[in-house]
A and B are shown apart, each in its own frame.
Chain A
Amino acid sequence: MSSARAFKYLPPRVADQIRGLGISSRRPMQGGIQGLHRSPDFGASVEFAEYRDYIEGDAPNLIDWSVYAKTDRYMIRRFQDETSLRASVLIDASASLNYRQTGPVTKFEYACSLAAGLMYLLVCQGDAAALSFFTDKLTQRFAPVASTETLSPILLEMEKVEATGAGDIEKSMHEAAEMLKQRTLVIVISDLLQPTAQLARGIQHLQHNRHDVTIFHVLDAAEIALPMHGLVELRDMETSEKLLIEADEIRPRYAKAVQGYLAEVSRICTACGANYFTVETRTPMIETLAKRANLF
């Protein structure tokens, strides 16, 4: 980061701490340039892939003469290609992300910080990262960047974005799946407040298009523990619908329902081959990034 300005979502101290982390993909990626990631194609890396018979037209220098000496056959040794990674970070910008009760920041601020950290890591390891915000559709898109210089404008723009309106995660995922033409590491950062069946359809669409999907489920601890007491009238931040509850009375059942929901989401993600992380806004961002970085 050569910018003299301290970014809201990526302070220099945080950037320094996360610089050593790396992000990889479960699936082979198709990058534009030579990179650190496995490609579905064969290339010139040092990683052996397979032997095949020499066929006419192959360059003679590809023949493995040691094998010829032993088997009297012309065999060619092939190596795995390594390529750069394309990543697309999708941030949920619906109004429910503005919630903050026990954490130091709102869920949206945490999501933005997490996205900034991820993009910074990707750029640092030579990959390209794009950014999109969505509510009930993709609302704002930033083209992929592959250097810190080109990342800076995006970080500045992120600070201007506000979470507002109702969200539709499935629809946004469908739209992203259609938009991304190449294999991409899709990172979704959201509170996932939508029925699990709809979520599953969105994730499956992305997976079907051979994208590697990682989902960060951002929650405030109060959403799980329900810390208020007595009679409380709640208002839905997206629909403005109101509900009178006796918090102490329903807390256990509420917590059970939330835990069941989280387990269901986790199960769906696993079934779809997506990486799923539940993140509380109280968790330091470097810990969250480290979870993802150490995954493979």
Chain B
Amino acid sequence: MPFFLTQPAMAWLLPAIALPILFHLFFRLRRSVQEFPSLMFFLRIDPRLSAKRKVHEWLILILRCLFIALFILALARPLLGTKGSGGSVARLVLIDNSGSMAALTPGGVSKLTLAERATQKLIDSGKKGDVTAVELMIPDPTATIPHGFDASPAALRDSVEKLPPSDGAAPVAKSVRLALSSLNTAITAERELHIVTDLQRKNWSRGDLGGEVLAPNVRIIVHYIETAPVTTGSVSIEPVETAAHAIPAGRIIPVRVTLQNHGPATAHVRLNTTDDSGKNVSHTAEVGPNASIMLTVTFSFANPGFHWAQAWVEGDVAPTANRACLGFWCTDVEKVLFLGTKSDFAALPYAVAPGGNSDLSGINAAFIGQDQLAAGLSAKPLAAALTWENWPADGAAAQALQDYVRHGGTLILSPSPETATTVSRPAADWIGARLEALQSPKDPEPITLLQDGDAIWHDLRNAEGRPSLGLLRAFQYRPIKLGADWKILATSAQGAPLLAQRNYEQGRVLASGLAFSPKWSSLPLKAGFVVLIQNALFGGQSGTVPVRMMKAAEDYSFDFTGEQATIKSLAGSALQWQGSARDFAGFPRTGVYEIKQQDYLNWVATTGNADEAVPDYFPLGPVPLLHDLPHDTLPLVHENDLADTELGQNSGLPLYRWLLLVGLVVLLAETWLANERSSDLGKRLFHALLPSFFSKKPAGAKTGSFKT
């Protein structure tokens, strides 16, 4: 029968067994010698004195060592055997509350409901001395499940009643790790981790449990809930990309969403949208089996500030991932200053304000002279555009331009399309760049785009993630002579820099060697040209937007981790929470949430996780993620299926009580032996129990001889 220690660290105390021996030797060395008139009476009465006493001393010494050994062993909480011994059990039930658990079982109830019932059954199965705890794979601030093993079964049972499903993907490996760690805090003979899950393949394929070692008295039982097969269309929705920057109020915001059908039949669904102004729009869509389509929905908000919108799929059987919440940060109508006339900038003003006004982009283009530059920049426009040839001669205007960029402004420099001369006023030294002579290649030179990850290529990347604007050709250009700190975005076939940007203190400078005219290159004629210019205008603002888009159940980091936070939901899943930011569990469901910390407001919009709608599950059997940890996978069709063998009836026999009892007996025996001289009964017993040879007189021993 196996024997193991549940607190093996206590074994380090075992050398303490030697303490009585050390004390014995120490005091033996320190024994005093007394003078006595004569030893004749001692020699007369008992020449066997030493042998008997030695036996007595060694007996006491052995008992003391034995007591310490038993006490240390008891502290180490040893267990004998693992089956059928009836020791107390610590049971932790880990409920998979990921989005996929909202789907139905073949029995017609949701998997999460069955998980709740099974959990309640496990709680009720606890015997005297057993303790139970419940944890969710996705922490849920709306759930009132008590933490730890101290909760009463009744309170625990009530807390798992009607758990709301989440919309996120479960961090399975992380939650199993935490559960095992939590289980190790329980002081019981046997520990069980019950995982109630549907083994959704996407969830159970993430993460790694490598390095996790199971203690001998820990048992993992995976309760596998089967999912009803999907026979119809099952559509999930997921936004492709949303603007990470501020958007001018009034601008139409296109949002692309992907509708993916995970079912074997064509799905006819309706995509509904609504926003905080009450504007509702509906689209019908047809998604083929195991196919996906992309739709674009638009929103527009008249006022600056935070705005939210929702999109959801109607007429779908998918249990989750059929709702997305979006958040936007709108600014007032912006203005871009153009120093010069419209013809100096060719197509650039049209890319800034398509249609000639702010209706489409939320940006107005204003053309001013050099004498108006300083005043115009003082109003902090979104950007200022200059031609290399028209660098302000006025010192005050040039200084105002430098101050504007230094404090966060965006400056766009491009050559004038009609200027044929190569002689121009040099830009200020702080720009760190200048144009070189006009190049007019005989054959148009292809333009190469660089810096794949730069924000300026947002919405312009192909499937491979590379920026793509179609076939770009340069007919003439002026290479840019760049200093340090510049980042080249586009070059000619000869490698001459054509487009580059640099940060200057808090602002940015975008330098172009191409005039934005079709005579110079094919760029202005490309569909992505407007997007490119809009990205150039807003690319540097993403960090200042107080809106975060994320998937449900993803980790959220607060701006002030240790501070108090107040969270309330504006749309979607209801949530009202207040407390230390450290204690916040996360956003398990889709919704729009306002977060207040100190005097700052932030907003979070969460979407569902399309992976949760994928009806792909591991079959009943060993779980790959737990391959290094011994576990049993048992089917769970009905809560009554939980047999005794799954309810912790098998456990090791805890020996510590017995060890303490034996230790107590040893201690009593030691006390009796150490004091037996004071008790006649004890003395008689002691002498009676001694082996007879200790009582026999040794041959040749002195028998009462007197001194001579």
Contact = CB atoms under 8 A, between A and B. Distances in A.
A243 B35 contact: no
A49 interface: no
Contacts of A250: 42, 45-46, 49
Interface in B670-708: 677-678, 706-707
Nearest to A220: B37
A194 to B, nearest CB: 7
A236 B53 contact: no
Interface in B1-50: 31-46, 49-50
A232 B38 contact: no
A237 B41 contact: no
A236 B707 contact: yes
Contacts of B40: 193
B42 A191 contact: no
Contacts of A236: 36-39, 707
B677 A249 contact: yes
A246 B686 CA distance: 15
A14 interface: no
Interface stretch (A58-66, A117-125, A202-210, A254-262): A254-262
Interface string A187-203: 00001011100000000
A256 B38 CA distance: 16
Contacts of B49: 244-246, 249-250
Given A99-B36, A246-B49, A249-B49, A234 B42 contact: yes
Q: Which of B34, B36, B49, B677 has the most CB of A within 10 A?
A: B36
Contacts of B39: 234, 236, 239, 241, 243
Contacts of B56: 246
B683 to A, nearest CB: 8
A237 B39 CA distance: 9
Nearest to B47: A243
A257 B38 CA distance: 13
Contacts of A107: 37
Contacts of B43: 243
Interface residues of B, number: 25
Interface string A248-278: 1110011011100100000000000000000
The secondary-structure label for the interface of chain A is mixed
Given A194-B706, A249-B677, A235 B46 contact: no
Nearest to B53: A246
Nearest to B706: A195
B53 A233 contact: no
Contacts of B677: 246, 248-249
Contacts of B37: 96-97, 99, 107, 191, 193, 220, 223, 236-238
A152 B463 CA distance: 134
A295 interface: no
Contact of B33 (A99, A235, A257): A235
Interface residues of A, number: 36
Contacts of B707: 166, 193-194, 236, 238-239, 241
A254 B45 contact: yes
B478 to A, nearest CB: 109
Contacts of A256: 45
A15 to B, nearest CB: 30
Contacts of B31: 231-233
Given A99-B35, A232-B34, A235-B33, A261 B42 contact: no
Given A233-B32, A248-B677, A238 B38 contact: yes
Q: Which of B39, B49, B50, B678 has the most CB of A within 10 A?
A: B39
A245 B706 contact: no
Contacts of A232: 31-32, 34
Interface in B205-252: none
Given A238-B707, A246-B53, A250-B49, A233 B41 contact: no
Nearest to A248: B677
Across chains A and B, which 6 residue pairs bring their CB atoms closest together, nearest first? A96-B37, A234-B36, A193-B38, A248-B677, A99-B37, A253-B45
Interface of A: 96-97, 99, 107, 166, 191, 193-195, 220, 223, 228, 231-239, 241-246, 248-250, 253-254, 256-258, 261
Given A99-B35, A234-B36, 14 more contacts: A97-B37, A194-B707, A223-B37, A235-B34, A236-B39, A236-B707, A237-B35, A237-B37, A237-B38, A238-B37, A243-B39, A246-B56, A250-B42, A256-B45
27 contacts: A96-B37, A99-B35, A99-B36, A166-B707, A193-B38, A194-B707, A195-B706, A220-B37, A232-B31, A232-B34, A234-B34, A234-B36, A235-B33, A235-B36, A236-B36, A236-B39, A237-B35, A237-B36, A237-B37, A237-B38, A238-B37, A243-B43, A245-B42, A249-B53, A250-B46, A253-B46, A254-B45
